[in-house]
Amino acid sequence: MASGRRSWIALAAALLAGAPAAALAAAGPVANVIPAPLSVSSPPDAAPVRIVEGETIFVPRDDAGARQTAQQLSALAERTRGLRLTVAVGDPPAAGGPAIVLLRRPGLPEEGYALEVANGQARIAATADAGLFYGAVTLWQLLTADGQRGPAALAAVRIEDRPQFAWRGLMVDSARHFQSPAEIEQLIDWMSLHKLNVLHWHLVDDQGWRLQIRKYPRLTEIGAWRTPPAGSPDAAPGHKGAARYGGFYTQDQVRTIVAYAAARHVSIVPEIEMPGHAVSALLAYPQFGAGAPPPRAAQAQWGGFPYVYGVGDGTLGFLEDVLTEVMELFPGRYIHIGGDEVAHERWNASPEAQARLRALGQSDPAALQADLTRRIASFLEAHGRRLVGWDEILGGELPADATVMSWHGIAGAVAAAAKGHDAVLAPAPWLYFDNGQSNDPHDPLGRGVMITLRDVYGFNPLPATLPPDAAGHLLGLQGNVWTEHIRTFDQFQAMAFPRAAAVAEVGWSAPERRDWTDFMRRLPAQFARYAALGLKANPAALDVVVTAEPATLGAGATVKITAQSGVGDIRYTLDGAQPTLASPRYDASFDVPLPAKVRAAAFLDDVRIGPIAEAQLDAASIRRRGSRQLRLCNQKLTLNLEGAQAPDGRTQTYMVNPQDPCWIYPAADLGGVERLSVGFARLPFNFGFDAGHNSAVLHPPREPGGELEIRQDNCLSDPIAVAALPAGPVGGRGMLSVPLPARSGRHDLCFTFTARSFDPVLALDWVQLAPPAPAIAPAPHDR
């Protein structure tokens, strides 16, 4: 994450907590919390409340749930505001006496609560423990809305609140990259403070089996560890070959995590993939697969694989044994079995599968997945559980209580609900948080599709295509953090937050309470809370971005400034000063002479809400494009990949299609440019793709070592320049300087690497057009 983004957060939060009162007066009372409450009003003739050091939280006698919530609120206040609160059991002082009071009120929804701050007291009422906890979370957010430390002054307010959806979730993929038990508990903490209540835990996939199963120890002895290719970031730093990579959760660790989540009103839904995504399991127990076992190398690759479980009684017994231990560990109602991306054709060569198909009176091997799903659903139902699967399980007749998780857009949820099945929305690309959220080169890795915070916030969980009588089957929604390219927990945090905050508001808040501008108004305070919690969220939604290119006329640059949020104003300076409300407002692109220093920032309600962006412009910088500023020629697969770690610990990222090394520099100004330079890297190729993912375009080389080819205006014309690639190791970087024939005007430049194979991945890092030589003034005696 870019440095310097955090220093402004507490200041902006404090200013927005108090300064924009005039701007917000027309909207009525304001609660600076996320997600937005259902109802916010001002108690008549009520005085504000001051919460000071040593304030007491009173809980009813013999109420363990209220006491637990009070202790959690006390710990939060001390951690994030430095404010120590005490917990006492018994009756609070009379109205008007200083106190925080937790009490029970019959008749409220299970997750609903009422909060009143007035006349010296903050009173939280709820029927159930979950509602009491969420009321405490809202009070904590009010306490921390100004981003300050010490005593807090709270405006009088009355809040009545309950969620729109029962399922408000986040999926963590621990199969591709392993998070420690402590990191999972941190994630649960952060989820609960957003009123997210379902952690979908993806524990099994081709690349790793992460859950200890006592009856089958090889699942973790073999399946939990892989050997990444040399040069991969997963390999140990400085290791000449590759390191053993992985990990798993013991059953004792899982029990601790499940209890930790329950105390924070988060239910964990474990996912055990079947019948596909089974490489890690079949490496350990190949007898349960259909056909030849997978090669060991497949476990260290990303992508889709054709290896599936068999369908005989032995395999069914294995899966039931595994699920029996899973159910002992996870007491929640739902068990997720995956069911996505199954290579049904694998069963065509299995005599056992063909025999089962004949017994079913079917000829399509897809019927075998439907049959397995029914059998597993019946097994789970017999144990009081409900099956959840990705929307591919709709391919056959489902048991009535099966729940469908829709990832192919929203169509699966609509179809499932129309058939009477419960459904959860988790659609790509809107709720897939492995997609990038900005073009900042410091942002974490992921897929090249851009899903901004605003995209997530704008997702409609009640599609117009959903029949009104089926709406009751829509349980809710969740964001998914797939981790193929999210290697570290720091990267995970930046990819999940604040987009998880948008999921929380879409899932909790009533449609009429959701407003993007108001959400942005509340976001700086949320970032101040993140900083206090140690959560490394990505503030790209609050950033502004300054870009420049050669001016159409003259020798200067045309400057463009954008803000991802699209709200408020952008203010900028050209004299090195810090932007303020008195600075010029950006309305349209403008030209500047070179060199130039542009500083810009976003303002909302007359308060700066994000960090200051700065760009030093000169003739060279405006003709340089980094990997994320280029366009991939083939966008069927766009990935932002990480190179090997340098000795200083830093890494470089590259936007690539690993099966088509081709990039476009759009509208390059070639006037006076006679040479260009490029930086590139050789990355390990560890991608295994089935036919559905294949976008391969191999560019054959002229020489064994390969070349860089440069074309003008399209990628199929003859090259205007060719340069041989120097030799280098996987994980290494290189640079080329290439002369160009004289050109004028603006043209797309197409850059293609040639090679005999995709291994290693040749990745373009940057392109620098040599600026035109400056005009030389004639000597005085020549005038």
Cα distance between residue 322 and residue 51, in whole Å = 51
Concerning whether 277 is annotated as a catalytic residue, the answer is yes
Enter the tokens of residue 251: 């059953």
Q: What is the DSSP string of 31-61?
A: ---SSPPSEEE--TTPPPEEE-TT-EEEE-T
Q: For residue 327, what is the enclosing H or E element? A: helix 313-329
Give the C-alpha separation, 207 to 226, whole Å. 7
User: Count of residues for the chain?
Assistant: 783
Could you give the C-alpha distances from 730 to 73, 144, 233, 436, in angstroms and in order? 51, 49, 12, 25
Do the Cβ atoms of 209 and 279 come closer than 8 Å?
no
Catalytic residue among 111, 116, 205, 605: 205
Euclidean distance between CA atoms 393 and 416, whole angstroms: 10
User: Pairing relation of β-strands 204-205 and 208-209?
Assistant: antiparallel
**CA–CA distance, 666 with 712 (Å, rounded to integer):** 10
* Residues sharing a CB contact under 8 Å with residue 268, sequence separation 6 or more, in sequence order: 198, 199, 201, 257, 258, 261, 330, 332
Reduce the DSSP state of residue 355 to 3 states and report it. Answer: helix
Distance CA(78)–CA(68), nearest Å, equals 16
Pairing of strands 639-642, 446-450: antiparallel
Distance CA 163, CA 108 (A): 12
107 residue type, one letter = G
From CA 147, how far away is CA 149, in angstroms rounded?
Answer: 7
Q: Which helix (H) or strand (E) holds 771?
A: none
> Which single residue is written with the structure tokens 């007066």?
25
Kindly report whether the peptide bond that precedes residue 760 is cis, defined as omega within 30 degrees of 0: yes
Question: Would residue 366 be called left, alpha or beta, if left means φ above 0 and alpha means ψ between -120 and 50 degrees?
Answer: alpha
DSSP per-residue letters across 91-152: PPPSTTSSEEEEEE-TTS-TT-EEEEEETTEEEEEESSHHHHHHHHHHHHHHHTTT---S-E
Indicate if 781 belongs to the active site: no
CA 736 to chain centre: 35
Residue of 116, 146, 341, 605 marked catalytic:
341
Handedness of CA 11, 13, 14, 18 (dihedral sign): positive
Nearest to 86 by CA among 104, 96, 99, 103: 99
Q: Point out the catalytic residue in the list 265, 277, 336, 473.
A: 277
Active site positions, annotated: 205, 277, 341
